Amino acid sequence: MWQLVAVVSGIIAGLAALFLGFLININLWPMPENLDGKNTASVEYFIKGLPDIFFITKIIVHALMCFLGGLIASLVANTNKAQAGAITILLLFSVVLYRDFEYVYPTLYVVFSLFAAGILGFFGVVIGTRR
């Protein structure tokens, strides 16, 4: 039972970090009112006009999401801490995969985002299992 509670709490912590990062990005770089989210050409045009710091903050947010999710899940679990952390990381990493491949983002951003999310998620689990 604690495994399920650990995974759910890790997912909640990770998604809370993702939501806070989304709020920061949307306040710093608001989307135009006439932008249609279903029209991929207009969204890709908007994405190409964004500064590099936008993508850097998204990389940090994705990495922080996976780190916090893995850390919280492995801290909450009483047995099989690494297993609970790994399950949480895989679920949160799938969110990163979906968000990175939803639209056409710069290739370098996608590579660094996936790399940072995976590595920091792993570090979160390692730190959480040692406590």
pLDDT, tens digit (0-9, with 9 covering 90-100), for 90-116: 999 998 899 888 878 888 999 999 999
Q: What pLDDT was estimated at residue 32?
A: 84
Q: Which of 99 and 69 is assigned the larger pLDDT? A: 69
**What is the rounded CA–CA span in Å between residue 9 and residue 29?**
30
Asked if the model's pLDDT at residue 57 lies above 80, the reply is yes
What tokens appear for 119 in the block?
Answer: 């590595």
Q: What pLDDT was estimated at residue 2?
A: 80
Asked if the model's pLDDT at residue 5 lies above 80, the reply is yes
Mean pLDDT on 29-57: 86
- Share the mean pLDDT of the chain: 91
Residue 82 burial class via C-beta count within 10 angstroms: exposed 0-12, middle 13-18, buried 19 and up: middle
**What is the rounded CA–CA span in Å between residue 37 and residue 22?**
16
Q: Which of 30-34, 45-49, 108-112 reaches the highest mean pLDDT?
A: 108-112
Asked if the model's pLDDT at residue 36 lies above 90, the reply is no
Q: Classify residue 38 by its DSSP letter.
A: T
